Amino acid sequence: MIRIFKSEWRKLRRPTLFLGTLAAVIGLTGLISSLLFLLLDSERGNGREGMIITRETLALPNGLYVGFANSAGLLGVIALCVFAAQTAIEYTNGTLRNLLVREPRRLLLLAGKYLAMISFALITVCFSAIVSVGISASLANVKDVNTDLWYTSSALSLFGSTFGNVLLSVISYGTVGMTLGLLLRSPISSISIALAWILVVENILSATVNGISKWLPGQLMSSIPVQFGVDFSYSWALFGSATYLIIFGAVAVILFKRRDVVN
């Protein structure tokens, strides 16, 4: 398992992938966290789907992490792209067959690759948290947000739960991406189909069909760490996401174990 983990990280640590991904994470997180405060008095809203998040809400113990929580959806999309590309590229380049020569136990190989990509996702979430908290703390005084409750023991406890929920959301997206990579065996097809569904189809359905958001995988996974602007509970988001992940995970395991490795 350790050898497989290290082998996968040889690909993940390439500067074009590692630094490029971190740059995207930092940029998107910084943009979302900044707009949350800079648009605080805007009538068009400053939160998810135009929702208005007030100073009173930001003054709560979890106010320091609202921007971080709202970044989960885009962080998940980034993870989906990385997981899908790193999985499908093995078929495109024909390197999977060589890996299976060295490690014929397919499920062990899949588990090692999955754990390596989860660790990569953890790093991106850590950078996102640092950037979001830094921006929120610096802009709070500028926009007259009371921060007395931000640095209490309850706020620290809430940060732990928020971080865990964001990480869970990101891993969920990544699992979907890995499954699509195994299913389609093409990085371009996997990423394009996933983004078209999550960013276009789901948003159209959510805006036009009442109550459908709680049945859509992308909406469920991105809502795990978010407490504002969703029409279903946290427990339902967890349950729905877990159900989809079990289905996607089962499909991934079956495909990887039974199908030929040739693209």
In a domain, 233, yes or no: yes
pLDDT at position 132: 93
In a domain, 81, yes or no: yes
28-59 burial string, b = 16+ CB within 10 Å, else e? bbbebbbebbebbeeeeebbbeeebbeeeebb
Q: How far apart are the first and last CA of the chain?
A: 25
In a domain, 263, yes or no: no
pLDDT at position 78: 94
pLDDT at position 55: 84
pLDDT at position 249: 85
pLDDT at position 42: 72
Cβ atoms of 127 and 19 within 8 Å: the answer is no
In a domain, 74, yes or no: yes
Write out residues in the chain with pLDDT < 50, as ranges.
Answer: none
Cβ atoms of 166 and 127 within 8 Å: the answer is no
In a domain, 205, yes or no: yes
pLDDT at position 128: 95
Number of domains within the chain: 1
pLDDT at position 227: 62
In a domain, 229, yes or no: yes
In a domain, 207, yes or no: yes
Q: For residue 150, give its domain range.
A: 2-258
Q: What is the pTM of this model?
A: 0.90
pLDDT at position 28: 92
pLDDT at position 25: 95
